[in-house]
Chain A
Amino acid sequence: QQPVQSPQAVILREGEDAVINCSSSKALYSVHWYRQKHGEAPVFLMILLKGGEQKGHDKISASFNEKKQQSSLYLTASQLSYSGTYFCGTAPYNTNAGKSTFGDGTTLTVKP
C-alpha cells in the first residue's frame, strides 16, 4: 500500500522553509526520499531507518517517527535549485529499497 504525501504542492520564495510529510498505514522499516526535476530521473536525497539512524544529504534534513509511521522532509532556506517533485518511498521490513512503495509526490516551486 503506497504512502500518502502532503501537501501535494507548495510554492515558496527563496529563503523560506518547507516541510513535506509522508505517512503510511503500515509499520515501516525505512523511508527514503528522492527529488525529481521535470523531465529527469529521480535523484536520491536521504534514507531514514528504523531505530533512528539517518543517512544522506547534508543540506536537507528529515525525521522518522516509527510509532506514527511518518516521515518528514525539512528544506531550510530554500534555494531555486530545490524546485522539483519530492517522492518518499517506504519499506515495511529490511529489504532492498528497490522493492519499496512510492507516494505520488509533492511538487515544490521556489520563486525568486
Chain B
Amino acid sequence: NAGVTQTPKFQVLKTGQSMTLQCAQDMNHEYMSWYRQDPGMGLRLIHYSVGAGITDQGEVPNGYNVSRSTTEDFPLRLLSAAPSQTSVYFCASSYGLGLAGKLDGEQFFGPGTRLTVL
C-alpha cells in the first residue's frame, strides 16, 4: 500500500494563479480531509468528504474548492491564489465509523504540499 499520496511536494504560485493539489489513497477509506498548517500552528480543516460525491466545508473553506468523484481521489483547488494561502497542506483519510477492528479516530496523513504564494 502506498497509503496517502500528495502531489506536488512543493509549489510556488503568483497571486491570482489557480492550481490543483492532488491527493490519493489506496486504503479504500470512506473519509478524506484537507488541512492547512501555518508555521507554528495546528491543523485547520478546509474541506472534508464522507464518501464519493459528498463533500462539506470545514473551518477555513474560503478560496478553496473540492470534489470527490472516486473513493481514491480528493483534489483541492485554489481558485485565485493569495499570499495568505501560503502554508503546508495535508490530506488525510480514515475509515468510516464503527467498523469492527478499525480505529475510528485514526487518520492517515499524506506527506504534505508546501505552497508559497508570492
Contact = CB atoms under 8 A, between A and B. Distances in A.
Contact of B41 (A30, A43, A55, A104): A104
Contacts of A97: 31, 94, 104-107
A101 B45 contact: yes
Given A2-B42, A98-B107, A99-B33, 18 more contacts: A30-B105, A41-B111, A42-B43, A42-B107, A44-B106, A47-B105, A55-B103, A56-B103, A87-B42, A95-B97, A96-B94, A98-B33, A98-B92, A99-B58, A100-B105, A101-B45, A103-B42, A105-B42
B45 to A, nearest CB: 7
Instruction: For chain A, give the interface size range.
Output: 20 to 34
B3 to A, nearest CB: 10
Contact of A98 (B40, B44, B94, B110): B94
A55 B41 CA distance: 26
18 contacts: A40-B111, A41-B110, A42-B90, A44-B105, A44-B107, A44-B108, A47-B104, A55-B103, A56-B103, A56-B106, A96-B30, A96-B96, A97-B104, A99-B45, A99-B48, A102-B42, A102-B45, A104-B40
Contact of B97 (A41, A89, A96): A96
A30 to B, nearest CB: 6
